[in-house]
């Protein structure tokens, strides 16, 4: 999923970008610091998801939604902003945003939103036809995406998956990094991360950011 960030504070924009780059299936395609750059970069990069701030030096992000919808009607938009005015929220909802996160945000809330968006995109991409049950899964008043366990995909061994899930259960208090999981599995870090992320995808695992002593973000996995 190609993600673009529109945020006038470059430090906040980079923090969001760093977190997104640690998630499998996500590509950060650009950061815009104002309204003008947002439209230009949107046309250039054609992202799947836009993280949009409201307060920017040359205009309000919410006022861009009409133009954004004309240029990219299938784009998912998540507002991440300090704006709490009722009219801002109402306008954003009318233009079909998929979430509205009020600053200061928690990493857990941010992560859940991005993961839900990725799951929704994956399910829609795999659809050829749909029924009412599928629609009800994709469109919920809570904004959450509830996806049933899919068949185990290629590259995921059921026995190994069960082993990884047991490992997470046993590490319930402390969680596991991909590196720790790889050592316990006797597999590569990439393989361990694939199984851990798959458990998150089917709702049997979760991940949180741990910034550690030196401030470098570290993704830890837990059993859900």
* Of 211, 24, 9, nearest in space to 114 by CA: 24
Structure confidence at residue 79 (pLDDT): 94
The domain segmentation of the chain, as residue ranges, is 2-120, 149-223
* Residues whose CB falls within 8 Å of the CB of residue 72, separated by 6 or more in sequence, listed in order: 42, 46, 47
Distance (Å, whole) CA 12 – CA 31: 11
DSSP secondary structure string for all residues of 37-77: HHHHHHHHH--SEEEE-SEETTEEGGGGHHHHHHH-TT-EE
The structure's pTM equals 0.61
Q: Which residues on neighbouring strands pair with residue 49, listed in sequence order?
A: 3, 76
Distance (Å, whole) CA 86 – CA 26: 32
Instruction: Assign domain 149-223 to a CATH class.
Output: mainly alpha
User: Which CATH superfamily groups domain 2-120?
Assistant: Response regulator (3.40.50.2300)
Distance (Å, whole) CA 47 – CA 30: 9
Q: Which residues on neighbouring strands pair with residue 75, listed in sequence order?
A: none
CA distances from 50 to 78, 97, 138, 178 (A): 6, 10, 19, 28
Tens digit of pLDDT per residue, the chain (224 long)?
Answer: 999 999 999 999 999 999 899 888 899 999 999 999 999 999 999 999 999 999 999 989 999 999 999 999 889 999 998 888 999 999 999 999 999 999 888 888 888 889 888 888 888 888 888 888 778 777 764 444 444 445 667 788 888 999 999 999 998 888 999 999 999 999 999 999 999 988 988 888 888 877 655 556 678 899 88
Distance (Å, whole) CA 24 – CA 194: 8
């Amino acid at each position: 999923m190609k993600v673009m960030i529109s945020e006038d504070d470059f430090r906040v924009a980079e923090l969001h970008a760093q977190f997104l780059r640690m998630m499998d299936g996500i590509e950060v395609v650009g950061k815009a610091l104002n309204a003008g750059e947002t439209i230009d970069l949107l046309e250039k990069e054609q992202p799947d998801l836009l993280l949009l701030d409201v307060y920017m030096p040359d205009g309000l992000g919410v006022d861009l939604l009409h133009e954004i919808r004309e240029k990219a009607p299938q784009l998912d938009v998540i507002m991440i902003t300090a704006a709490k005015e009722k009219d801002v929220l109402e306008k954003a909802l009318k233009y079909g945003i998929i979430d509205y996160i009020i600053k200061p945000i928690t990493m857990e809330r941010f992560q859940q939103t991005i993961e839900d968006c990725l799951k929704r995109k994956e399910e829609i991409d795999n659809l050829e036809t749909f029924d009412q049950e599928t629609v009800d899964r994709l469109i919920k008043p809570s904004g959450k995406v509830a996806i049933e366990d899919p068949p185990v995909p290629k590259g995921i061994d059921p026995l190994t998956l069960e082993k990884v899930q047991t490992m997470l259960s046993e590490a319930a208090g402390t969680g596991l990094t991909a590196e720790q999981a790889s050592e316990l599995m006797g597999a590569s870090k990439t393989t361990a991360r694939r199984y851990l992320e798959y458990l998150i995808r089917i709702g049997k695992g979760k991940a949180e950011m741990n910034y550690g002593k030196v401030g470098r973000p570290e993704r830890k996995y837990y059993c859900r």
